[in-house]
Amino acid sequence: MSTFEPVLIAGSWRPSADAQDGFRANDPARAEAIGPSFPVSGRADIEAALRAASDAADALANAAPSHIADFLDAYAAAIDADADRLVALAHAETALPAEPRLRSVELPRTSNQLRQAAQAVRGYAWTDPVIDTRNGLRAHRAPLHKPVLVFGPNNFPFAFNAIAGSDFASAIAARNPVIAKAHPSHPATSQRLAQLAHDALKASGLPASAVQMLYHFDNAQGLALAGDTRLGAIGFTGSRAGGLALKAAADKAGVPMYAELSSVNPVFVLPGALAERGDALAQEFFNSCTMGSGQFCTNPGVLIVPQGAAGDAFVHTATQWFAGSPPKVLFSHGVQQNLARALADLLAAGAELLAGGDSATGYQFQPSLLLVDGEVFLAHAQALQAEAFGPVSLVVRSADVQAMAAIAAAFEGNLTGTIYRAADGSDDAQWQTVAANLRARVGRLIANKMPTGVAVSPAMNHGGPYPSTSHAGFTAVGMPAAIHRFTALHSYDGVPDALLPPELRDRNPGGVQRLIDGHWSDRDITA
Amino acid sequence: MSTFEPVLIAGSWRPSADAQDGFRANDPARAEAIGPSFPVSGRADIEAALRAASDAADALANAAPSHIADFLDAYAAAIDADADRLVALAHAETALPAEPRLRSVELPRTSNQLRQAAQAVRGYAWTDPVIDTRNGLRAHRAPLHKPVLVFGPNNFPFAFNAIAGSDFASAIAARNPVIAKAHPSHPATSQRLAQLAHDALKASGLPASAVQMLYHFDNAQGLALAGDTRLGAIGFTGSRAGGLALKAAADKAGVPMYAELSSVNPVFVLPGALAERGDALAQEFFNSCTMGSGQFCTNPGVLIVPQGAAGDAFVHTATQWFAGSPPKVLFSHGVQQNLARALADLLAAGAELLAGGDSATGYQFQPSLLLVDGEVFLAHAQALQAEAFGPVSLVVRSADVQAMAAIAAAFEGNLTGTIYRAADGSDDAQWQTVAANLRARVGRLIANKMPTGVAVSPAMNHGGPYPSTSHAGFTAVGMPAAIHRFTALHSYDGVPDALLPPELRDRNPGGVQRLIDGHWSDRDITA
């Protein structure tokens, strides 16, 4: 067993108890294995992690919020201080650019997200205290008193990492232990983050078993774990097929699973916007589609433009951008294979290839632009809105705004939908027509901006209707709302003040914002 | 087809298109059929209801909140004005007492609940507007733009009726069309409510297809409907077996189902409270257990008392109350049969019968008290916490507070948990010990009060951890929180003011409470 890197369980790094297999990271740029061997955990590791996390659940639920916040802040500071090493590891394992992506964008976003979670903890913002003095009832959101299982995706080694991302920060903020399942495409990055988390945890006074991390386990083990009633909830970011299989297991056990599954993030360009700045939009589109090699949940996978000369010019310019681009490095052979298959499926469904279409050496793929007429899209809407994860986008030519509206109505649930409108408002009637169909099908409606780029904000919705996520009512990003996923509603009926949680007591020394008899305030309650 | 009462679809009362079977209500007191024949709808009725509701979804989502609120208020007023007739119908179909239960408690609660929903609509309280001026992001809760299917239970002909209860009020408040599946044990009551709703709807200016009602359909049709992706969500109150079957179908389709399934509502009596008023508690317990013939979701199904003289005296007094009671009338032969079976199962699992245990003529059942020692309860906790829906309760004798804590930890998810403590605070250390285990297992923690009685309050939680409900984060009762179940989170990113929903615009003439840059206020946003 000692040939594999240790796993983090119950507050210590220990050899895997039962790994039969190991795996190594790949350098995507050169398609060759790098770094040490990490264990593929079996039932013994998983059971040990689940027991340790369960044992810590009550103690963590009863921990002082200040200790939780201190831990999150300390971990954030450690991530910032370790930026050189983290960026080097992540760059080696993902081939994402060290600058600006990893160092200047994703890493600060990750530590900032942890700090926003700490802030939400200090101000009790996620607890939504509600007080009804007339009926003697008080309610708030509370910890689950059970572990949260987090599955991290391949595409954000920091910001969505199972041991450092929004799911992690949210679960811990709500005082739930975490079992992090790292993504096997960046194990050394995850290990380093887990070391920083572990060190911060040791100094925090929180239970040692608040955080466990396993690098990998097979699908059968994952399904068994997802269906274990000892879990309080699951956070998942990944593929639709994998996510739905886990969700079926979790559903059967009554375990809420918050899954971010897939999205093509349709972008509608209205005629006025096209006339105003079509060439610039073509470049913006190309940049958004190829940034991070197109491996974003919010990648603009489908863009709808008007037919006619301006639309043709847009398509021409965009084609030049795509055709002139060097190939992009993908995370893995699997991503490359899936992308080639997805592109072939789009072509088979009636799309025409304008640029790209080829794999290249290693895990590379040529940025690819496809075209289809609106009527064809509507006739094969299901096949033509399948996600192609990578630098591939489909342009749909639309006869008029009514056709755009029909196309909008043909989309299933997505994370985002974008409409480009003219700055002078001349498109706004058409905006209303398109938005009337698009709004309910997306979590975030965007004006005049490509969908890539997800601000960590209280008003963000990084979520959307099924099947983009498993529940249209929740967001995976943005504090305090993302924390709500990992909470239970607790009501107190006639319970004396001294026996209430701090944020529900009469006196409110911390100035917590509370809904008292229908009005938000930070006041004390006086007889 | 004309032999059956008409169903309500697409704004009109029409004959069932395909009912092969009909059914009549039963007078539970005399166990004989009463009233007209109602249709058991088939696929054609269901499909027509689903299409009509779907067709109305966008229009209803875009309706003015004032129209929604006016409808809810008008419907509430109509219910109050029709009280004589409604109470007579419900009494005949359920045998619940006309006074005080139906007329003075449940009917005013129902109309008041509709009015509270209207108030939440007028003040936009359910929309939780969040504004981040720095990032140009605004978010709120929005309609699902899809119909909500509501399954009403047998035990509240008004307050949880599929066409008048909290699920109905919540779904309409969030501007979603409703397909109400009435409970077949009170079809004429449901029909009368639907007539009042229909009349109020006609006067409201809302889409005619905002509300449909079917009286009944078989399980196979129910499963097919629950798994239809055209639904936005499902509200369900009923049995665990039926609810979980529907939930499995809904989960597979990605349709959120909010199910209230089962609960035994454990009540712990601490020694000081017992010494202070044991006899009064025994009577309170009996009253709560037998009120409404024990057919409450929040019925005290298990009560835990200390061993010893005071506990023995409590059990003796309670036994006398149960033994001295006349039999209680249940809703149906099915309820009677299930209760006899559940009681037999409790006895087989080790409980001793202290009083009752017998069915009586018609649908009657003798209030029944059972006893078991704490050790036996812990050894067979699963079997001994099975819900017996009706006037049956189990007393568990507990050696000490540690044993009480262990018993609390053995409960699965419940709607409520109650702890009786001494008025002088002498029990409070023991409260903490018991509550530490009970709190996370219940939705509402109650002090010194039996669990029956659910106030319609913003701080109510009529919900609880699985398997008492399908999701620990939501309540089925209490405005505005109950409305949240039937909403989607919508974010707006960089969208100009004029294209935002009213409650997210800069100007806030209605004084909506909004979370602006981390602070709740009713202010305008100024540049």
A94-114 pLDDT per residue, tens: 999 999 999 999 999 999 999
Q: Residues for chain A: how many in total?
A: 527
Are A491 and B455 within 8 A, CB to CB? no
B residues 30..59 contacting A (CB < 8 A)? 58
Closest-approach residue (CA) in chain A for B495: A447
Q: How confident is the model at residue B360 (pLDDT cuts 50, 70, 90)?
A: confident
Are B493 and A449 within 8 A, CB to CB? yes
> What phi and psi, each to the nearest 5 degrees, are found at residue A443?
-80, -40
Are B137 and A475 within 8 A, CB to CB? no
Among A146, A461, A494, the residue with its CB nearest the CB of B447 is A494
Q: Which residues of A are catalytic?
A: 260, 297
Token code pair at residue B350? 């080790």
Distance CA B260, CA B239 (A): 8
Find, among A244, A153, A266, the residue nearest to A470 by Cα.
A244
Closest Cα in chain A, distance from residue B55 (Å) = 13
pLDDT for residue B1 is more than 50? no
Distance CA A8, CA A180 (A): 9
Quickly tell me which residue has 């995850």 as its tokens.
A190
Q: Which residues lie closer than 8 Å to A100 by C-beta, 6 or more apart?
A: none
Among B142, B458, B475, the residue with its CB nearest the CB of A132 is B458
Chain A contact set for B62 (CB, 8 A): 436
* The one-letter amino acid at A398: S
Are A457 and B135 within 8 A, CB to CB? yes
Chain B contact set for A141 (CB, 8 A): 473
Q: Which of B491, B504, B520 to mutate to test the interface with A (most CBs of A within 10 A)?
A: B491
Please identify which of the residues B47, B297, B387, B503 carries the catalytic annotation.
B297
Maximum distance among all Cα pairs of chain A, rounded to whole angstroms: 75
- For helices A166-173 and A107-122, the axis angle rounded to 10 degrees is 20
pLDDT number for residue A527: 73
- CATH hierarchy code of domain A7-15+40-123+146-261+475-483: 3.40.605.10
Are A254 and B445 within 8 A, CB to CB? no
Chain A contact set for B443 (CB, 8 A): 488-491
Mean pLDDT of B374-384: 98
CB B39 within 8 A of CB B215: yes
- Eight-class DSSP state of A423: T
Question: Burial, B424: exposed, middle or buried (Cβ in 10 Å; 0-12, 13-18, 19+)?
Answer: exposed
Are A473 and B58 within 8 A, CB to CB? no
Q: Residues for chain B: how many in total?
A: 527
Find, among A56, A428, A7, A376, the residue nearest to A182 by Cα.
A7
> What phi and psi, each to the nearest 5 degrees, are found at residue B311?
-65, -40
pLDDT for residue B2 is more than 80? no
Sheet architecture: strand order including B12-14: B12-14, B7-9, B211-214, B178-181, B148-151, B233-237, B257-260
Closest-approach residue (CA) in chain A for B471: A256
Find out whether the peptide bond into A184 is cis, omega within 30 degrees of 0.
no
B residues 346..405 contacting A (CB < 8 A)? none
Among B138, B432, B458, the residue with its CB nearest the CB of A130 is B458
CB B469 within 8 A of CB B261: yes
Q: Tell me whether strands A267-269 and B519-521 are parallel, antiparallel or unpaired.
A: unpaired
pLDDT number for residue A2: 57
Q: What is the three-class DSSP state of A257?
A: strand
Q: Which of A234, A489, A490 to mutate to test the interface with B (most CBs of B within 10 A)?
A: A489
CB A421 within 8 A of CB A389: no
Token code pair at residue A184? 């096997």
Closest Cα in chain A, distance from residue B483 (Å) = 12
Sheet architecture: strand order including A359-360: A328-329, A364-365, A359-360
Cβ-Cβ contacts under 8 Å between A and B: the total is 219
Token code pair at residue B270? 């601490």
Distance CA A513, CA A503 (A): 9
Chain A contact set for B498 (CB, 8 A): 425, 428
CB A434 within 8 A of CB A268: yes
Q: Is B133 left (phi over 0), alpha (psi -120 to 50) or beta?
A: alpha
Find, among A278, A272, A266, A300, the residue nearest to A404 by Cα.
A266
CB B79 within 8 A of CB B196: yes
Among B134, B466, B473, the residue with its CB nearest the CB of A254 is B466
Are B446 and A498 within 8 A, CB to CB? no
Closest Cα in chain B, distance from residue A347 (Å) = 28
Are B499 and A248 within 8 A, CB to CB? no
Token code pair at residue B78? 């109509």
Q: Tell me whether strands B352-355 and B368-373 are parallel, antiparallel or unpaired.
A: antiparallel
Find out whether the peptide bond into A266 is cis, omega within 30 degrees of 0.
no
Q: Is the dihedral of CA B421, B426, B428, B431 positive or negative?
A: negative
Chain A contact set for B416 (CB, 8 A): 493
Chain B contact set for A142 (CB, 8 A): 439-440
Distance CA A71, CA A115 (A): 10
Chain B contact set for A520 (CB, 8 A): 513, 520-521
ipTM: 0.98
Are B459 and A431 within 8 A, CB to CB? no
- Domains of chain B by residue range: 7-15+40-123+146-261+475-483, 267-447
Chain B contact set for A519 (CB, 8 A): 513
Are B428 and A499 within 8 A, CB to CB? yes
Token code pair at residue B11? 């704004």
Closest Cα in chain A, distance from residue B16 (Å) = 31
Find, among A325, A335, A301, the residue nearest to A416 by Cα.
A301
- Eight-class DSSP state of B5: P
Chain B contact set for A436 (CB, 8 A): 58, 62
Q: What is the three-class DSSP state of A135?
A: coil
Does this model's pTM top 0.90? yes
Are B473 and A488 within 8 A, CB to CB? yes
Distance CA A300, CA A292 (A): 12
> What phi and psi, each to the nearest 5 degrees, are found at residue B368?
-130, 135
Rounded-to-10 torsion of CA B184, B187, B190, B196: 160
pLDDT number for residue A360: 81
Are A488 and B440 within 8 A, CB to CB? yes
Q: Which of A234, A490, A491, A517 to mutate to test the interface with B (most CBs of B within 10 A)?
A: A491
pLDDT for residue B182 is more than 70? yes
Give the H/E segment covering residue A402.
Answer: helix A401-409
- Eight-class DSSP state of A509: T
Angle, vertex CA A369, rays to CA A364 and CA A372, nearest 5? 145
Distance CA B178, CA B67 (A): 16
Distance CA A17, CA B258 (A): 40
Ranges of residues in chain A with a pLDDT under 50 are: 1
Find, among A191, A188, A186, the residue nearest to A331 by Cα.
A186
Among A457, A498, A499, the residue with its CB nearest the CB of B132 is A457
Distance CA B407, CA B396 (A): 9
CB B443 within 8 A of CB B414: yes
Chain A contact set for B485 (CB, 8 A): 473
Are B495 and A446 within 8 A, CB to CB? yes
Q: Does B431 touch chain A (CB under 8 A)?
A: yes
Quickly tell me which residue has 């080694």 as its tokens.
A157
Find, among B455, B490, B489, B486, the residue nearest to B258 by Cα.
B486
Quickly tell me which residue has 């984060």 as its tokens.
B473
Sheet architecture: strand order including A519-521: A519-521, A514-516, A130-132, A137-142, A488-493, B442-447, B414-420, B267-269, B302-306, B392-398, B368-373, B352-355
Find, among A165, A176, A225, A169, the residue nearest to A53 by Cα.
A176
Among A145, A436, A470, the residue with its CB nearest the CB of B440 is A145
B residues 104..163 contacting A (CB < 8 A)? 123, 125, 130-132, 134-135, 137-139, 141-146
A residues 291..320 contacting B (CB < 8 A)? none
CB A410 within 8 A of CB A378: yes
Token code pair at residue A430? 């058409």
Please identify which of the residues B5, B93, B106, B260 carries the catalytic annotation.
B260
Chain B contact set for A125 (CB, 8 A): 518
Angle, vertex CA A113, rays to CA A193 and CA A167, nearest 5? 70
Distance (Å) of CA B313 to CA B281, B305, B316, B318, B427: 11, 11, 5, 8, 19
| Residue B236 exposure: Cα atoms within 13 Å on the Cβ side | 28
CB B438 within 8 A of CB B417: yes
**Superfamily of domain covering B267-447:** Aldehyde Dehydrogenase; Chain A, domain 2 (3.40.309.10)
